Structure 1
């Protein structure tokens, strides 16, 4: 993630600016971020599901390789979760833990935000982090047990649906809890119409992946439906978290967005595992 603002050109933010911002902030890829402003942030958040697809493919490749080599479903699922964490420097997992500590503190908004900003992780954060990661690993293990293709598709789906939650968190009307930071930069930058277009494109890509995973016939249609339901289930669960955080903290922060990503990804992959294993 860039250390601070960069110079803002007079020209409007382009799609390339948004892509660089998206990959530069949401992954470890060393992408030069030339613009750090709200118009560019809005374009970047629209690209967030694409970032998830790319990172998910890398993680899926690692899991599939271990599965094909005889490493077993559990090792493959651990690899997927580990690679995704490495590709983001644990950014979203850290946000999840911080939000859990903030919500669990039962303190006024200002004090809770200070707890979230602290570098250490409290008991609530540790507990939620462990439960979420265990849920992701267990769901992916179930998917890999159904087949390497099902497990790999689950990895891609979790990463993409997780980042699709950012379309909700950054939509217009959602305030920032702080006057500065990543949350303030991206809050309210995504218009509803643009978010719907990005969601439809993501849905088409995931449905196609589900169909290809299941092959022709009823199984392919069922997994395509599972992918679509996961795309609905994940953001719905993260929107509940968003509503709670807005009431509790007064708006979003970068940590809240990270917690939304992990919540959405977990709900999506659990639903996928139920379909893939049946």
Structure 2
């Protein structure tokens, strides 16, 4: 009975944490068909774990110069995700910005080498993120934003087909939006404009990327969506806080 309860409730949560973060998780063994889809309901919770680390780092480094605090926050963010999403952004930049047909862009997505588009886009995104984190965003925003983005990711996952027939991106498709929404509701309630900006930015990018890839999305594009969603959320969140003040 205990094992059944673990498989029903706890295992999907740990799968989500193990997939989206570098936090230690129990030995989960082989991932079976349908389990990654079930784990998608817990994506916002994995986001809150990342956000909790960011909020703690922000509190511990509050007395440091803004630029240094922003750099430490960015380093912590990258460490919590193992640069999983950044890697997807770099691969997606090379593929989506190339003047090639969709089939060739899909091939480029699988290439481990980085081109000029990857370096350019990666530099700009990291620079933007650092500057925004150096603007002293609210620790509450840092707590909630990763959860908002990982909930919003389920929307393009459901709306667009998979560009490839294999991979974790395929196995995670058609995520469980409504259970995930329950976990994301507190973040949406406290930061509605940030949530709207995140969803809009990610859906616009997803729509454009799908057209560039022949109608579907890949796991690398999901990573790019997360990175762009986080930048959009920080932009609106920092602007909103300064405007309110």
Q: Of the candidates 171, 177, 181, which is equivalent to residue 199 of structure 1?
A: 181
Q: Of the candidates 16, 20, 34, which is equivalent to residue 22 of structure 1?
A: 16
Whole-angstrom CA distance in 2 between matches of 1:43 and 1:115: 30
Q: Contact 2:170–2:218 (CA<8 Å) still a contact in 1?
A: yes
Q: Cα offset for 1:253? A: 1.3
Partner of 2:218: 253
1:53–1:161 CA distance, 2 compared to 1 (3 A):
same
Q: Contact 2:144–2:187 (CA<8 Å) still a contact in 1?
A: no
Q: Of the candidates 80, 85, 88, which is equivalent to residue 87 of structure 1?
A: 80
Q: Contact 2:145–2:187 (CA<8 Å) still a contact in 1?
A: no
Structure 1 unpaired stretches of 5+: 1-8, 145-149, 208-223
What RMSD over aligned residues (CA atoms) do the two structures have, in Å? 2.3
Q: Contact 2:153–2:202 (CA<8 Å) still a contact in 1?
A: no
Whole-angstrom CA distance in 2 between matches of 1:97 and 1:127: 9
Whole-angstrom CA distance in 2 between matches of 1:10 and 1:153: 36
Count of matched residue pairs: 239
Structure 2 unpaired stretches of 5+: none
Q: Of the candidates 232, 236, 249, which is equivalent to residue 196 of structure 2?
A: 232
Q: Contact 1:157–1:268 (CA<8 Å) still a contact in 2?
A: no
Q: Which has the higher contact order (CA 8 A, sep 6+)?
A: 2
Q: Cα offset for 1:38? A: 4.3
Q: Cα offset for 1:10? A: 11
Task: Write out aligned runs for 1:1-278 (5 A).
Answer: 14-31=8-25, 32-34=27-29, 36-67=31-62, 70-142=63-135, 144=136, 150-171=137-158, 173-188=159-174, 190=175, 194-205=176-187, 207=189, 224=190, 227-249=191-213, 250-278=215-243
Whole-angstrom CA distance in 1 between matches of 2:188 and 2:67: 24
1:17–1:258 CA distance, 2 compared to 1 (3 A):
same
Taking structure 1 as the reference length, what is the TM-score of the superposition? 0.79
